[in-house]
Amino acid sequence: MEARFCPTNLRTTSLVALFSASAVLSLSACSHSSSEAPHAQVAEVGVFKVAPEALQISTELPGRTSAYQVAEVRPQVGGLIRKRLFVEGADVQAGAALYQIDAASYQAAYQSAKAALAKAQANLLSSAPKAARYKELLAIEGVSKQDYDDAVAAHEQARADVAVAAAALETASINLQYTKVEAPISGRISRSSVTAGALVTAGQSTALATVQQLDPIYVDVTQSSEDLLRLKRELESGSLKRGAQQASVHLLLSDGSRYAQEGKLQFSDVTVDPGTGNVTLRAIFPNPRHDLLPGMFVRAVVDAGVNEQAIAVPQQGVSRNQKGEATAMVLNPQGKVEQRTLVTGGTRGDKWLVKSGLKAGDLVIVEGLQKVQPGAPAQVAKPAAAAATAQASSSAPHGNAQ
């Protein structure tokens, strides 16, 4: 019997073969995906375990420096300035001569007062014996009672004339001394507002120069009354404990550097500025090298007290959401990631102080944040794996220096 070729049978056979191959590939792919699903990687993260600790709580406040003492130099007698006896911007000592006023007229007045005193003293010398003799003559009725009374009155008047002349001489002497204008305090003197030949008057409104004592120096800072009340409540409740000594203060200068000397808080003002609602605090700082000058803007870090249960977390574990609120990713006991909203209270070194939102024992994610999101599973990176990663990165080849 002769075999015949049938196109229909060929097509049927091809379709069956193609369907069989597709089914095999599908089963193979399903088998491969089902075998890989159980091996999905869980993100490994680095965490910081929250533990309360005793921390010195400080507040950073803006302020300005002011001189410890300020004295404006004004003449106490009038006349022409003959000399300026200081170098502008130099340090002067209390009592040092600063200006010399023409003293000729004051010297003459002193000499005149001195002569008037001598005349009064001479009259006193003659009146005293006369009164004594009249007293003896009155006893034997050699003079009348009126003559004796006149002699006694003349003697008392002579004594009063001596006292008046002595006071006039003292005044003339003081005015003569005032022709030499002296520094009232020790400190650094400003530029002079007058030159030789200028006419000055006693007690004029314009100061000749200004002397400022710069060591020590004051720093006046402002704090809101609300913060002051909150600090007072925390101290009263015991959440903050203040040391036995005065609160210490540190300065941050305008260029960001830290001032080497430590200051002490002196007092807080007794009134609140109605315009700003702020209270002024004054601190005093040693200034031996005169690095601080009056009027400089500074930031004062005031130690408020010690919080023995403070919570501080690394800054890399804290971020801000769209509302500007501080947030942190926390790995909960179930191995899931939670996002917490925090209330922070400033920084301490490289850490944020957290007032609320975290508690002791919480695991704050500080490494691998880009791998996780809220609700996703995660696990703490094993120390061995972390060490291997660090060793691999340190042994990676580096380019040769040219």
SS3 of 98-159: the string is: EEEECCHHHHHHHHHHHHHHHHHHHHHHHHHHHHHHHHHHHHCCCCCHHHHHHHHHHHHHHH
Q: Is the per-residue pLDDT at 382 higher than 60? A: yes
Together in a domain, 127 and 200: yes
326 and 341 Cβ atoms separated by less than 8 Å: yes
Query: Is 167 part of any domain?
Result: yes
Flag whether 17 is in a domain.
Answer: no
- Domain annotation covers residue 8: no
94-103 residue pLDDT tens:
999 999 999 9
Q: What integer is the mean pLDDT of 355-371? A: 88
Tokens of 3: 């075999």
Are residues 95 and 166 both part of a single domain? Answer: yes
Q: Does the residue 301 lie in any domain?
A: yes
Q: What is the mean pLDDT of residues 125-147?
A: 78
Span 338-367, mean pLDDT?
A: 85
Residues 6+ apart with CB under 8 A from 134: 143, 147, 148, 151, 152
Q: Does residue 91 sit in the same domain as residue 136?
A: yes
Question: What CATH number corresponds to the domain at position 137?
Answer: 2.40.50.100
Q: Classify residue 3: in a domain, yes or no.
A: no
Question: With 90 as the cut, is the pLDDT of residue 73 above it?
Answer: yes
Same domain membership, residue 182 and residue 88 = yes
For 74, residues 6+ apart whose C-beta sits below 8 A from its C-beta are 203, 204, 207, 208
Burial class (CB in 10 A: 0-12, 13-18, 19+), 305: middle
| For residues 186-206, average pLDDT | 93
Query: Mean per-residue pLDDT for 351-358?
Result: 84
In percent, the amount of the chain with pLDDT more than 90 equals 35
Identify whether 221 is part of a domain.
yes
Tell me which residue of 242, 212, 172, 203 sits closest to 65, measured CA to CA: 212
Percent of the chain with pLDDT over 70: 79
Considering Cα of 56, then 57, then 63, then 66, what sign does the dihedral take?
Answer: negative
Rounded CA gap, 302 and 281, in Å? 10
Helix (H) or strand (E) holding 346: strand 337-348
How many domains in the chain? 3
Q: How confident is the model at residue 22 (pLDDT cuts 50, 70, 90)?
A: very low
Lowest mean pLDDT among 59-73, 345-359, 376-390: 376-390
What pLDDT is attached to residue 236?
Answer: 59
- pLDDT band of residue 5 (cuts 50, 70, 90) is very low
- Residues 6 or more apart whose CB falls under 8 angstroms from that of 340 comprise 327, 328, 329, 330, 357, 358, 362
Q: What's the pLDDT band for 202 if we cut at 50, 70, 90?
A: very high
- The domain of 316 spans 46-55+310-379
DSSP 246: P
What is the pLDDT, as a whole number, of residue 35?
A: 44
Asked whether residue 31 is domain-assigned, the answer is no
Tokens at 330, concatenated = 């926390």
Q: Are residue 83 and residue 201 in the same domain, yes or no? A: yes
108 in the same domain as 175 = yes
pLDDT band of residue 88 (cuts 50, 70, 90) is: very high
Average confidence (pLDDT) over 14-37: 43
pLDDT at 14 over 50: no
Rounded Cα gap, residues 7 and 169, in angstroms: 151
Say yes or no: 151 and 51 in one domain: no
160-169, 241-250, 272-281: which range is least confident on average? Answer: 241-250
Instruction: Read off the pLDDT of each residue in 7-18 and give the average, rounded to a whole number.
Output: 42
User: For 143-157, what is each residue's pLDDT tens digit?
Assistant: 788 887 888 888 888
Residue 105 in contact with residue 113, Cβ under 8 Å? no
The answer to whether residue 396 sits within a structural domain is: no
Strand-pairing partners, residue 220, are 64, 282
Rounded average pLDDT over 206-215 = 95
Mean pLDDT over 218-235 rounds to 76
Confidence of residue 130 (pLDDT cuts 50, 70, 90): confident
Q: Which residues pair with 268 in a beta bridge?
A: 281
For the ranges 126-140, 236-250, 310-324, the maximum mean pLDDT occurs at 310-324
By DSSP bridging, strand 326-331 and strand 278-285 are unpaired
Rounded mean pLDDT of 283-298? 92
Q: Mind giving me the DSSP string for 221-240?
A: EEEEHHHHHHHHHHHHHTSS
- Over residues 190-212, the mean pLDDT reads 94
End-to-end CA separation in angstroms for the chain: 89
